[in-house]
A and B are shown apart, each in its own frame.
Chain A
C-alpha cells in the first residue's frame, strides 16, 4: 500500500484566497484524522471521521475551516478565506478505527499564507 497520500505537499497562497488540502487514506482504514502542526501548539487534532461521518470537529479553529469525506477514499480540508495565521503543516492520518489503533500519517502539506 502507498500509505496515506496528501496533496499538495506545499501550498503558497495570498491572504483571502481559498485553500483546499486533499487526503487519500490507506485502503481499509475507516477512521481519518486532520491535524495541524505548529511550533507553539504541536500537533492539534482538527477533526476526525469514522466511516466517513464527522465524529468530532471541536478542534476546527473557526468557521473558515471545513472538512468533508464524501467517500472512504478521499477527504478534503478547506480554508476560506485563508489568513497568515493559518500557515502551518497540515497532516492527514488514518487508522483501522478506534482510538487504540495506531494512526498512519501522510507526509503533510506545508501551507504558507502571505
Chain B
C-alpha cells in the first residue's frame, strides 16, 4: 500500500510560469516532509522540507505548502526554469507503530519548456 502518493506522473510548464507538484499521504503520524529532485543517472538531491508544525516553508523560488487536515502537500516553483526539469519525489517521515519510517512517492517528472 502506497503511503505517499504522487498522482501525476508528469507535468509540463512553460518557462517563467508556476509549477505545482502535488503529494498526498495516508498516515497522520507523519510529521516531517521533504522534496527531492532527481536528474537522470544521478541520485536524488534534497530540495526543501517542512515540519508538521508549519503550513508553509519558502526557499527562493521553491515553496512547500502543507495541509494536514487534507494530508496533502504541494511544491510550488516560481518562476519555473528549464534547469528545473527533473523528477521530483515527495517524502514523508514519522514515528509509526513500527518505528521510524520513511516513505517516498513514485515521483513526478517535470518538464519546463523554454
Contacts of B99 in A (CB 8 A): 55-56
Residue contact A45 to B102, C-beta cutoff 8 Å: yes
Other-chain contact of B106, A35, A42, A93, A103 (Cβ < 8 Å)? A42
List B residues 82-107 near A (Cβ within 8 Å). Answer: 89, 91, 93-94, 98-107
In the complex, whether B62 has a CB less than 8 A from a CB of chain A is no
Q: Given A56-B100, A105-B43, A105-B44, A41–B89 Cβ distance below 8 Å?
A: no
A44 within 8 A of B: yes
Q: Determine if B89 and A99 form an interchain contact, defined as CB atoms under 8 angstroms apart.
A: no
Please name all residues of chain B whose beta carbon is closer than 8 Å to the beta carbon of A42 when the two chains form the complex.
2, 6, 89, 104-107
**Are the C-beta atoms of B42 and A107 separated by less than 8 Å?**
yes
Specify the main secondary structure of chain B where it touches its partner. Answer: strand
- Across the two chains, which residue of chain A brings its CB closest to B38? A105
Docked Cα-Cα span, A12 to B34, in Å, equals 33
Bound-complex Cα distance A91 to B43 (A): 7
**A44 contacts across to B, CB distance below 8 A:** 104
Contact B93 A107 (CB under 8 A): no
Bits for B7-44, please: 1 = Cβ < 8 Å to A, else 0: 00000000000000000000000001010100001111
Partner of B2, one of A41, A91, A103, A105: A41
CA separation between A105 and B91, bound complex, in Å? 14
Q: Is the CB of B41 within 8 A of A100?
A: no
Which chain B residue has the least Cβ–Cβ distance from A106?
B43
**Is A91 within 8 A of B49, CB to CB?**
no
Q: Please name all residues of chain A whose beta carbon is closer than 8 Å to the beta carbon of B46 when the two chains form the complex.
A: 102-104
Is A4 part of the contact surface with B, judged by Cβ < 8 Å?
A: yes
Chain A's closest residue to B49 (CB) is A102
Minimal Cβ-Cβ distance residue in B for A95? B46
A102 and B100 CA atoms in complex are apart in Å by: 15
| Residue positions of A touching B, CB distance < 8 A | 4, 33, 35, 39-45, 48, 55-56, 58, 91, 93, 99-100, 102-108
**Could you list which residues of chain B lie within 8 angstroms of chain A, going by C-beta atoms?**
2, 6, 32, 34, 36, 41-46, 49, 51, 89, 91, 93-94, 98-107
